[in-house]
Amino acid sequence: MRRIIIAITGASGTIYGIRALTLLRPVEDVETHLILSPSALQTARHEVDLEADAIRALADVVHGFRDIGASISSGSYRTLGMLVAPCSMKTLSGIAHSYNDELIVRAADVCLKERRRVVLLVRETPLHAGHIALMEQATRNGAIVMPPVPAFYARPKTIEDMVDQTVGRALDLVGVELPHVRRWQEKGASGGVT
């Protein structure tokens, strides 16, 4: 069983983490471990038509935000890595500085020290120098900073198409390939191939 940690923070874009969980549900050999911040639940109330229990039900395992003794807080507990979708600036700051005061940052820190992939869908714009410095430090620590920028070569027709393409590419980086991701130069993508 391959395990992947999905963390949803309070930045706008909770749909990214929710879609990651939804797209991974039918993947039989992947077990999802969810961490939801309190701010994520508050943001989700404004952005999606799902209650907290419905979001939690999408995951195989749900961990408490403050449970720094959870299985995923130890390097001996094997995972593929972690997707933080969306990643707030507060969470980015914690990851950049290894400030492990809650489970999202602790789990990311563990993945980084074990040289596992940590993909951060950083969700803020515009950026000031402090934000950019945090992204640089997180990258130096081993994280992959991937702002959720839509790929228009995939010819998205809906917001869901854009979200799914971004989530699919992020999961690629963690090591889970989904069949619906449209790739450059493949059938249906741009570059003269249709």
Task: Return the pLDDT at 193.
Answer: 35
Q: Taking 80 as the threshold, does the pLDDT of residue 188 lie above it?
A: no
* pLDDT category of residue 131 using cuts at 50, 70 and 90: very high
Domain ranges of the chain: 2-152
The pTM for the full model equals 0.94
**The listed CATH number (3.40.630.10, 3.30.565.10, 3.40.50.1950, 3.40.190.80) that belongs to domain 2-152:** 3.40.50.1950
Task: Return the pLDDT at 189.
Answer: 52
Task: Return the pLDDT at 130.
Answer: 98
Contact 8, 86 (CB under 8 A): yes
Contact 96, 138 (CB under 8 A): yes
Q: Nearest CA to 23 among 193, 130, 165?
A: 165
pLDDT tens digit sequence for 152-177: 988 999 999 999 999 999 999 999 99
Q: Nearest CA to 84 among 176, 26, 167?
A: 167
pLDDT tens digit sequence for 38-60: 999 999 999 999 999 999 999 99
* pLDDT category of residue 187 using cuts at 50, 70 and 90: low
Euclidean distance between CA atoms 161 and 146, whole angstroms: 18
